[in-house]
Structure 1
Amino acid sequence: MSNHAVAKRYASALFQLAKEKHDLKKVNEELQSVKTVVETTPELVQFLNHPKITVKQKQALVQESFKGLSDISVNALLLLIDRKRTDIIVPMVNKYKELAYEEQDMAEALVYSTKPLSEKEQNHIAKVFAKRAKKSKLEVINIVDPKLIGGIKIRIGDRIYDGTVKAQLDKLERNLTAGTR
């Protein structure tokens, strides 16, 4: 079974448990923190994957490092260590987030802009594009990309709304070159 399928199974089980405990949002926030730690700390990944370090030592480190998290989140990590599946932590967290957002009728919107957007601008984008995405709420994540020249580009799932100056210039270039043939 591929890592993606395994991550999906663990995420589904974790999702069901969090849903029963009415902790979808809290567990999602905790897992996002875990994902950030795993992605930014290669030493932790090396430690968790090292064959000479015992499962008990790995679990002790995780319990100590993440003791502020809920039992649901910590136990999920301990289970992954016990089953030697630490390689699927990030894909599992991503799938869990997807399931939790779907349950809450939410989506994540990556908004690329040349400068940081104000809270008011982010709220306006969330309101307008939530309707287009057929969701009740959007979580806006602003990514500053100075290469855009101007405008914004929004990615919601696999849909992209590109209102950047760069996209308009590219379109103009395509139209001009197509017309000269």
Structure 2
Amino acid sequence: MSALAARYARALAEVLREAHQNPTPVQSQLDDFVAAWNTSADLREVFLDPSFPVAEKVAILDKLNTKLQLTQQARNFVAVLINHGRLHDLREIVAAFHEVVDEELGVSVVAVTSARALGEDQRRDLEQQIAGMTQTKIRASYQEDASLLGGVIVRIGSTVYDGSVRGRLDRLKEELIAG
């Protein structure tokens, strides 16, 4: 996360904290705005055009807001990004906001890669084990990679726990070569 994105993300989190407002709806609304941003080249073109007046960009935001139904804080945040010419950093800033909120709420974002699809019971058990290990709540995403042969790889931030069969075989190979 860049310093710029972190600064904007922390500022929004602070505004919400001071207003005693739950950040989850704002996260969802900003995600909706990012989705609209990603799918509309015309929207990006208008908002990123430096010759287009800021007041008109904010008016377009307000018209778009009739469909998106942004809270006042989310709408004002996007307007601040428009006023400061930071919409080109929108995706990074929203991702940073998610990280700040997760940190404040004690949530660890976990990426699990398994050799095959895990059932609901397996996912629940794995998430409970990770939550116990990290002493945090868990938000996990799952993907499959048949080359693992079996087991799982768990990534929490920059830490990787490799419990895959392929990982074990690679470690064994290194030991045999070294030894």
Place the TM-score, normalised by the shorter chain, in its bin: 0.7 to 0.9
- Cα distance, 1:42–1:173 mapped onto 2, change above 3 Å: farther
Which secondary structure does the structure 1 equivalent of 2:2 belong to?
helix
Opposite residue 141 of structure 1, the aligned amino acid is S
Q: How many Å separate the matches in 2 of 1:37 and 1:78? A: 15
Normalising by structure 1, we get a TM-score of 0.81
Q: How many Å separate the matches in 2 of 1:82 and 1:145? A: 44
Question: Equivalent residue for 1:150?
Answer: 150
Q: How many Å separate the matches in 2 of 1:146 and 1:53? A: 50
Instruction: Give the root-mean-square deviation of aligned CA atoms.
Output: 2.4
Which secondary structure does the structure 2 equivalent of 1:141 belong to?
strand
* CA deviation string 1:96-130 (max 9, x = no partner): 11221122111111111233333322221221111
Percent of aligned positions with the same letter in both sequences? 27
Question: Equivalent residue for 1:76?
Answer: 77
- How many residue pairs are counted as aligned between the two chains? 175
Q: Which deviates more from structure 2 when the two are superposed, residues 98-107 or residues 115-124?
A: 115-124
**Match status 1:28 vs 2:16:** no
* CA deviation string 1:121-158 (max 9, x = no partner): 222122111121121x1011112333333221111112
Q: 1:17: how far off?
A: 1.6
Question: Equivalent residue for 2:166?
Answer: 166
**Match status 1:124 vs 2:122:** no
Q: Counterparts of 1:7-156 in structure 2 under 5 Å?
A: 7-19=5-17, 20-38=19-37, 40-41=38-39, 43=41, 44-66=43-65, 67-135=68-136, 137-156=137-156
Q: How many Å separate the matches in 1 of 2:163 and 2:36? A: 33
Opposite residue 3 of structure 2, the aligned amino acid is A
Which secondary structure does the structure 2 equivalent of 1:21 belong to?
coil
- Cα distance, 1:131–1:41 mapped onto 2, change above 3 Å: same
- Cα distance, 1:142–1:22 mapped onto 2, change above 3 Å: same
- Cα distance, 1:37–1:167 mapped onto 2, change above 3 Å: farther
Q: How many Å separate the matches in 2 of 1:143 and 1:55? A: 42
The answer to whether the 8 A contact 1:154-1:162 is kept is: yes
The answer to whether the 8 A contact 1:149-1:166 is kept is: yes
The answer to whether the 8 A contact 1:133-1:156 is kept is: no
Gaps of 5+ in 2: none
Opposite residue 116 of structure 2, the aligned amino acid is K
